[in-house]
Structure 1
Amino acid sequence: MTQLGPIVADRLTPPLIRALEQALDGPSQRVRRIEAGGQMVWLKQGESLSLRWRLQKGDTRRAFANDLDALHRLGAAGLPVAPILAEGLDFFVTPDRGRALSYLLQRPAEVMAEARQQMFAEAGRALAALHRAGFAHGRPSIRDMLWDGQQITLIDFERFSPRHNRVQDFATDLMILAHSILSYGRGPVPELEMALAAYRAADPGDVWATAQARARKLGWLGVLTRAVARLRPRSRDLNAVPLTLDRFARG
């Protein structure tokens, strides 16, 4: 039987430990939810792919290593990331920390306006805290920001790299956050301004100005994506590109 290795024993019940070991003995899955003994956690495993799939999906082993490295580094720095409850050579376990903001944004009836304002403001502050500590996320989509009713938890650091922690990388993070809100919101939504205002209030320095300058230089990309979007009018990601650039370009 597969052993979990080092674990935070006081956080995992015996039924959950058994369920995790059974899952690890079965076919590997990239991410899955495990629930037992009144607890729910997420199990993430490194993928072993054929050459064809590696060419299509990229180096998934490297992505897994980046994610694990980030959770260790950022957790040690006291940043709002998911804590690791158990880990092995090709897996790690984190607690459930609520719903993704992407899910909640698309279901406004489930969350009152005041709560939405709080959660998206916290998202902006969480990203700013990461940047103030000198780290870039790599791809801070709102599907990788979890809300438990009180705080934001950042997950999925597959593009994390200690070598890419410059102001330019922070600006990229900020623009990705805006793009994801515009994409999942299918256009400008109040939650975008909530997140951006909170980020700007805690801006670690020159990030907003860097994002503005980049957006203005990329005006041609907005024109191009608007043209392409006419061929794919239902593409949320395409439609969100010019909206993102416009938002930063106008200040």
Structure 2
Amino acid sequence: MRDKATDVHIAIDHALRAPYQRVTLCQTPQGRSFWLKRVERFAPHLWLVKGKPENAFDRDRSSHRFLWNFGAPVPRIVAESKEYIAVEDAGASLTRLCADMSVTMAEKLRACRAAGQALARLHAMGFAHGRPAFRDMCWDGRQMRFIDFEYFVPTKAGRLRKARDLGIAVLSALTQGRTAPRYAFCILAAYYEAWGRKPKSLPVLFPVPVRSGQSRLR
């Protein structure tokens, strides 16, 4: 009987033989899902703007490994090489989750609270993500994890870098449609509560009609 590692590498080999995709959702015969991320391909003239793609990928991969070894809230690495990194499926990004009309408001706000707590945990470890936008935070219904670390710096983060992280997370929340202020407040409230500070309760300034099947928040 093949072991799990062998099944993962078989799925990776299959994906690498297929037409190029920078990010691919792979699945083993047993139904185990993971994401395969490869070096980005773009025209050489874009190197002047984005830098060499190999360097950006190596920074992302090594940063992910660094944070995983420290026990940070990131997806588990299942395989890696200089050309790719494969990580377990961490669920839907907050961007996708908040746009999904089938997800209740209660679950969306629960995910945002988890995002605030995860960011506070990362900062308590002495690190800053670098760009914790909603597309870079994933929720699987149980835990929040970060992805994409091209802007991560593996040194102790001071107040400025942590404040920048929090600002990016809040600004990203505020772009998520009509209920955006509620997402932003949830992230901030959870972040400060994680540091032992109780934020004042704020009124809901933008009431939103509750759709059928959604829980009303009070």
TM bin (shorter chain): 0.7 to 0.9
- Residues 13 and 39, structure 1, Cα contact 8 Å, conserved in 2: no
Task: Name the residue aligned to 2:129.
Answer: 137
What is residue 115 of structure 2 aligned with on the other side? Answer: 123
Work out which of the residue numbers 160, 163, 170 in structure 2 matches 1:171.
163
Cα distance in 1, alignment partners of residues 176 and 3 from structure 2: 38
TM-score, scaled relative to structure 1: 0.70
- Residues of 2 paired with 1:138 and 1:164: CA distance? 12
> How far is the alpha carbon of 1:106 from its aligned partner?
1.5
What residue in structure 1 maps to residue 58 of structure 2? 65
- Residue 236 of structure 1: aligned partner: none
Q: C-alpha displacement at 1:167, in angstroms?
A: 1.4
Q: Any idea what SS the aligned residue of 1:136 has?
A: coil
Distance 1:10 1:153, change over 3 A: farther
For 2:191 and 2:118, how far apart are their aligned partners in 1? Answer: 8
Give the counterpart of 2:22 among 3, 19, 30: 30
| Conserved 8 A contact 1:131-1:204 | no
Cα deviation, residue 49, structure 1: 4.1
Q: CA 1:179/1:20 → structure 2, altered by over 3 Å: closer, same or farther?
A: same
Give the structure-2-normalised TM-score: 0.80
Structure with higher RCO (Cα < 8 A, 6+ apart):
2
SS at match of 1:33: strand
TM-aligned CA deviation for residue 66 of structure 1: 1.9
State the SS of the aligned residue for 2:175. Answer: helix
Q: CA deviation at 1:170?
A: 0.7
Question: 1:177-205: per-residue Cα shift (whole Å, max 9, x none)?
Answer: 01111112367431110111011122499
The Cα shift of 1:76 comes to 1.4
Task: For 1:43, give the aligned amino acid.
Answer: L
Percentage of pairs with the same residue = 37
CA offset digits 1:66-95 (Å, max 9, x no partner): 221222121112111011100111211011
In the alignment, structure 1 segments of 5+ residues that lack a partner are: 1-8, 206-251
Number of residue equivalences: 195
Structure 1 residue 26: Cα displacement: 4.6
Aligned partners of 1:104 and 1:110 also within 8 Å: no
Name the structure 2 match of 1:96. Answer: 89
Structure-2 change in CA distance of 1:99 and 1:22 (3 Å): same
Question: As a proportion of its length, which structure holds more helix?
Answer: 1
SS in 2 for 1:85: strand
Structure-2 residue corresponding to 1:106: 99
Q: Distance in 1 between matches of 2:154 and 2:22?
A: 23
Displacement of 1:56 in angstroms is: 3.9
Gaps of 5+ in 2: 198-218
The letter for the 2-side match of 1:199 is Y
* Superposition pairs of residues 6-25 of structure 1, within 5 angstroms: 11-12=4-5, 14=7, 16-25=8-17
Give the whole-Å Cα distance in 1 for the aligned partners of 2:66 and 2:5. Answer: 22
Q: Is 1:83 aligned to 2:76, yes or no?
A: yes
Q: Is the 8 A contact 1:122 1:152 kept in 2?
A: yes
Instruction: Give SS of 2:153's match.
Output: coil
